[in-house]
């Protein structure tokens, strides 16, 4: 037994036909969930009573929302409890432009993370399990229901490495793009990845979405010391695959670079990064380090970050320093999960 969102629209249609129902019943269920944001089968009043009872008996209830935290910049962090007790966090972010208020949601694909980046609290919290397609999608619908706003963009940038939960992540993306649900364009979905070997398969077979590649250093050896996962693609191979992907499918590829004081933020590092990226139409997001208790790392100074950015820009590489959101509620990049486990007296699984 799982969540009804573990099924695609096509899967749901086949399931309902197996119960002797007409195919259009899948459209009705999807409309209740994705358009009317109704999660209770009993409230789906245009479905036959017996079908409502069957669905209630067959499928799990949605994850339980146990805490909402709101920061001064209006970033909202949600803490969910899955059916087996696992705790998962996701984040809703507001971006105000001259035209509209964009609402992005940052969703998790795993409980914890197996990549074990040494500068990331999520990785330090250990890895417990993959989330199902339905558990990923439930975070989005749950945030919409609780906030009362509609999602503009979905960022697979929460807890976990999306490509190490390949099938469920890809399934969730495909549902988001279906017209019966959100009908999101691939340009409204961003997948963040450290570039495990599965990246090559995703770029060949996966949905055509935007990609954020977590680089953090132009040097493979230094990268291996910062990111402990053994099956990462060599940097140059990953960038070559991403360059081909961007050229063929016209989807934005950004390079994420976390600046760590005295580790990867020198002028030599900046020049090495220029050498690596020159001529490649990637956008570089320079990220300030978000501190966590007991970390051996510290943030580069704002002045040094600006100098690093200018080195890239003078070489013709587009770059910006990303302003962190939700710092005081532990909702910024690399801050999810570890403090929450400590608060709930849950042992870290390393």
pTM for this prediction: 0.91
Predicted confidence (pLDDT) per residue in 337-350, tens digit: 445 544 545 444 44
Residues 41 and 190 occupy one common structural domain: no
In a domain, residue 241? The reply is yes
pLDDT less than 50: residues of the chain: 331-332, 334-338, 341-342, 344, 346-350
The pLDDT of residue 327 is: 59
Residues 190 and 297 occupy one common structural domain: yes
Which CATH number covers residue 165?
Answer: 3.20.20.70
Q: Both ends of the chain: CA-CA distance in Å?
A: 29
Residues 51 and 112 occupy one common structural domain: no
Distance CA 255, CA 145 (A): 32
Residues 338 and 268 occupy one common structural domain: yes
What backbone phi and psi angles, to 5 degrees, belong to 128? -110, -55
The pLDDT of residue 117 is: 87
The pLDDT of residue 169 is: 98
Residues 16 and 162 occupy one common structural domain: no
Residues 36 and 118 occupy one common structural domain: no
Contact between 116 and 226 under an 8 Å Cβ cutoff? The reply is no
In a domain, residue 224? The reply is yes
In a domain, residue 93? The reply is no
In a domain, residue 317? The reply is yes
Among residues 140, 149, 153, 37, which one has the least CA distance to residue 88? 140
Q: Which ranges of the chain would DSSP assign to H, the alpha helix?
A: 9-18, 24-30, 49-58, 121-124, 133-147, 166-177, 198-205, 220-226, 235-249, 267-277, 302-314, 338-343
Contact between 111 and 160 under an 8 Å Cβ cutoff? The reply is yes
Q: Which residues are catalytic?
A: 89, 333
User: For the chain, what is the domain count?
Assistant: 2
Residues 317 and 220 occupy one common structural domain: yes
Q: Which of 17, 38, 58 is the last residue before a domain boundary?
A: 58
Domain span including residue 20? 4-58
Which CATH number covers residue 41?
Answer: 1.10.150.530
The pLDDT of residue 118 is: 85
The pLDDT of residue 333 is: 53
In a domain, residue 85? The reply is no
Residues 316 and 203 occupy one common structural domain: yes
Residues 261 and 322 occupy one common structural domain: yes
The pLDDT of residue 98 is: 58
In a domain, residue 274? The reply is yes
Predicted confidence (pLDDT) per residue in 54-76, tens digit: 999 999 999 999 999 998 888 99
In this structure, the number of other CB atoms found within 10 A of the CB of residue 293 comes to: 8
Could you please report the per-residue DSSP string of 192-236?
EE--BTHHHHHHHHS---EEEEE---S-HHHHHHHB--TTBPPHH
């Amino acid at each position: 037994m799982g969540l009804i969102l573990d099924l695609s629209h096509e899967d749901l249609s086949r399931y309902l036909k197996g119960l002797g129902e007409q195919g259009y019943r899948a459209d009705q269920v999807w409309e209740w969930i994705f358009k009317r944001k109704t999660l209770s089968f009993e409230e789906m009043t245009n479905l036959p009573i017996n079908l409502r009872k069957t669905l209630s008996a067959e499928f799990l209830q949605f994850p339980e929302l146990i805490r909402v935290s709101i920061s001064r910049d209006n970033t909202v962090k949600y803490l969910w409890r899955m059916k087996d007790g696992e705790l998962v966090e996701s984040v809703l972010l507001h971006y105000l432009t001259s035209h509209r208020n964009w609402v992005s949601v940052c969703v998790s694909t795993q409980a914890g993370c197996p990549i074990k980046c040494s500068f990331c609290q999520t990785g330090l919290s250990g890895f417990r399990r993959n989330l199902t397609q339905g558990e990923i999608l439930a975070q989005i619908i749950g945030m919409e229901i609780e906030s009362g706003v509609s999602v503009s963009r979905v960022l697979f940038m929460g807890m976990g490495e999306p490509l190490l939960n390949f099938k469920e992540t890809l399934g969730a993306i495909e549902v988001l793009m279906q017209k019966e649900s959100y009908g999101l364009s691939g340009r409204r979905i961003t997948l963040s990845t450290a570039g495990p070997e599965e990246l090559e398969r995703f770029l060949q077979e996966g949905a055509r979405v935007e990609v954020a590649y977590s680089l953090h250093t132009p040097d493979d050896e230094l990268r291996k010391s910062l990111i402990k996962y053994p099956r990462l693609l060599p940097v140059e191979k990953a960038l070559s695959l991403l360059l081909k992907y961007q050229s063929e499918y016209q989807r934005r590829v950004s390079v994420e670079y976390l600046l760590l004081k005295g580790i990867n933020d020198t002028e030599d590092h900046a020049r090495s990064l220029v050498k690596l990226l020159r001529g490649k139409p990637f956008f570089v997001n320079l990220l300030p380090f978000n501190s966590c208790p007991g970390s051996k790392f510290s943030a580069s100074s704002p002045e040094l970050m600006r100098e690093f950015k200018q080195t890239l820009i003078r070489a013709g590489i587009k770059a910006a320093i990303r302003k962190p959101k939700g710092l005081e509620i532990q909702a910024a990049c690399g801050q999810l999960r570890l403090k929450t486990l400590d608060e709930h007296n849950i042992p870290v699984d390393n």
